[in-house]
Amino acid sequence: MTTIRLTNSKTRRKEEFVPLDPANVRMYVCGPTVYDRAHLGNARPVVVFDTLYRLLRHVYGADHVTYVRNFTDVDDKINAEAQRRKALGRPETLEELIRERTEETIAWYHADMDALGALRPGHEPRATEFIGAMIAMIEGLIGQGHAYAVDGHVLFRVRSYKEYGALSGRSVDDMIAGARVEVAPYKEDPMDFVLWKPSDADLPGWDSPWGRGRPGWHIECSAMSYELLGDSFDIHGGGLDLQFPHHENEIAQSCCAHPQGQFARYWLHNEMLQVEGKKMSKSLGNFFTVRDLLNKGIPGEVIRFVLLSTHYRSPMDWTAEKAAQAEATLRKFYRIAADAIDNAEPYIGVMNALADDLNTAQAISELHQLAHAGDSLSLRASLGLLGFLDQGIPAWAKEPDVDLSGQATQFASLRAEAMISKDFSAVDAMKAALIAAGVEVRMSKAGVELVPGPGFDAAKLEALK
Ligand code: AMP
Ligand code: ZN
């Protein structure tokens, strides 16, 4: 069996990945807050962890991997949008308007991430469907002295968990000094974070032992991962921006609520997609959505390819040049892979690259070598492993179905005449006209091959006759 090695943020080392149960490898990834379209930065963890999911399925078997990615559908920005709709005079209740907003956002998310070739995780739990599990977990934490209730709020007592900060390598005192911790009268300590907060009549709320309220963000992931994956599971993923405080808080909650378990054993963090050196984010306003790119005519496979061209632990930029380059490369790969049947094994070099801490950049350079060697079988299977051929060769990359054999014969005879007369002007003129019509002219010792390219224009070709 292939040995997978992963860089574990928890130990800061590249480690051999050994699942708790090879018959059920379990992975949890923090999903989106569903208040608006996903931007390109949000797509990076989706594509990165989809690639890991595919690798795990390949190594352990498709039925032996459980992948959970949540939808955060309790959030102030969702509430604000629902309140805005209400203020515009919509007759529905606030709960209905919240539901409407999250439903439409989830549908967009699915459409956009499907376009990137990301498989849907086996479970996509919504926070609102697990409120009971969150309340039970919070009650347990209060019972064990790890949390306390004040005025309708419940807070996690950070100093009750000695290992707090171990994931990001900071001490509690460093965090207080450096972080924007919210000081509030109901907190014993400024580091303590919210597990539950009260909701007034204008906000969504659920009945709880502490009055009508709603959960904090961090408890969602702890409760949903416990319900769906148990108290110990293999991989927890998400963007590096979530390491502190979100993941520290998840660890504190889960390890205190279920001290018999290990919670997540391997923590993986993708680096940020950046714009001019800054993280792409809604709050900075320096973002564009996946849908913006798709609407501009950039195929989802091209976006996926660009995202995979940089290793997940390095920051990266999106540029138009990268997209153009990726499109040209994919066209070439698809052209070579098109003839191959679809039942070969991925190339060992590609497997080894992915198994080495998901080195997708190296995997792509292996694809170039396969293309160069004309190994269409391995290329096709390897592209499949990287998530490129679920729907076959995409329409945008298919060469137009035209018969250029007449032109090829004509070109070959002009060339043969020119060899004798040493006057190549007619050959050059025809070549230029073919290129202008979007035809690629490939000349080799074996003869001439004419291939209609991406900009193929049959009308211009007609003029040649
Ligand atoms: P959010 O909806 O903001 O919680 O983000 C959803 C996912 O996208 C999380 O895993 C974030 O870490 C990730 N993410 C957000 N912004 C970026 C970015 N610029 N680059 C890479 N990942 C990001
Ligand atoms: Zn989370």
Q: Name the average pLDDT for the chain.
A: 94
- The CA-atom distances, in angstroms, between 395 and each of 295, 299, 300, 398, 401 are 16, 10, 12, 5, 12
Cα 170 to Cα 158: distance, rounded to the nearest angstrom: 13
Domain containing 441: what range? 405-464
* Residues 255 and 317 placed together within one structural domain of the fold: no
Q: Whose CA is nearest to atom 17 of ligand 1?
A: 41
* Residues 282 and 379 placed together within one structural domain of the fold: yes
Q: Which atom of ligand 1 is nearest to the CA of 271?
A: 21
Q: Specify the number of domains making up the chain.
A: 3
Q: Is 44 in the pocket of ligand 1 (CB under 6 A)?
A: yes
Cα 248 to Cα 329: distance, rounded to the nearest angstrom: 41
Cα 235 to Cα 8: distance, rounded to the nearest angstrom: 9
* Residues 114 and 180 placed together within one structural domain of the fold: yes
Dihedral-angle region of residue 285 (phi above 0 means left; psi in -120 to 50 means alpha; beta otherwise):
left
Q: Is 239 in the pocket of ligand 1 (CB under 6 A)?
A: yes
Q: Is 362 in the pocket of ligand 1 (CB under 6 A)?
A: no
Model confidence pLDDT, tens digit, residues 212-228: 999 999 999 999 999 99
pLDDT at 450 over 70: yes
**The pLDDT of residue 172:** 78
Buried b (16+ CB within 10 A) or exposed e, 376-397: bbbbbbbbbbbbbbeeebbebb
* Residues 252 and 385 placed together within one structural domain of the fold: no
441: which strand partners?
A: 450
Cα(70) to centroid(ligand 2), Å = 8
Q: Dig out the tokens for 461 from the structure.
A: 């070709």
Mean pLDDT within 295-323: 97
**The pLDDT of residue 286:** 95
pLDDT band for position 174 (50/70/90)?
Answer: confident
Cα(433) to centroid(ligand 2), Å = 57
Q: Are strands 278-279 and 153-156 parallel, antiparallel or unpaired?
A: unpaired
Q: Is 281 in the pocket of ligand 1 (CB under 6 A)?
A: yes
* Residues 285 and 209 placed together within one structural domain of the fold: no
* Residues 288 and 374 placed together within one structural domain of the fold: yes
213: which strand partners?
A: 198, 206
Q: Give the list of residues 6+ apart from residue 53 with CB closer than 8 angstroms, or none.
A: 27, 65, 67, 119, 121
pLDDT at 281 over 80: yes
**The pLDDT of residue 38:** 98
Residue 224 DSSP SS3: helix
Domain stops at, among 240, 270, 300: 270
Cα(321) to centroid(ligand 2), Å = 34
Do residues 175 and 181 touch, judged by C-beta distance below 8 A?
A: yes
CATH number, domain with residue 172: 3.40.50.620
Domain stops at, among 370, 397, 424: 397
**The pLDDT of residue 403:** 87
pLDDT band for position 343 (50/70/90)?
Answer: confident
* Residues 413 and 278 placed together within one structural domain of the fold: no
Mean pLDDT within 452-457: 80
Model confidence pLDDT, tens digit, residues 392-432: 999 999 877 788 888 999 999 999 999 999 999 999 999 99
Q: Whose CA is nearest to atom 11 of ligand 1?
A: 239
Cα(250) to centroid(ligand 2), Å = 7
* Residues 336 and 300 placed together within one structural domain of the fold: yes
User: Model-level pTM greater than 0.75?
Assistant: yes
Task: Outline where 179-285 has alpha helix (H).
Answer: 217-229, 248-257
* Residues 459 and 372 placed together within one structural domain of the fold: no
Model confidence pLDDT, tens digit, residues 38-81: 999 999 999 999 999 999 999 999 999 999 999 999 999 999 99
Q: Which atom of ligand 1 is nearest to the CA of 42?
A: 8
Ion ligand 2 residues within 5 Å by Cβ: 30, 221
pLDDT at 461 over 90: no
Reduced 3-state DSSP string for 346-395: CCHHHHHHHHECCCHHHHHHHHHHHHHHCCHHHHHHHHHHCCCCCCCCCH
* Residues 183 and 206 placed together within one structural domain of the fold: yes
Q: List the Cα angle 411/412/414 in 5-degree steps.
A: 65
* Residues 410 and 367 placed together within one structural domain of the fold: no
* Residues 256 and 319 placed together within one structural domain of the fold: no
pLDDT at 460 over 90: no
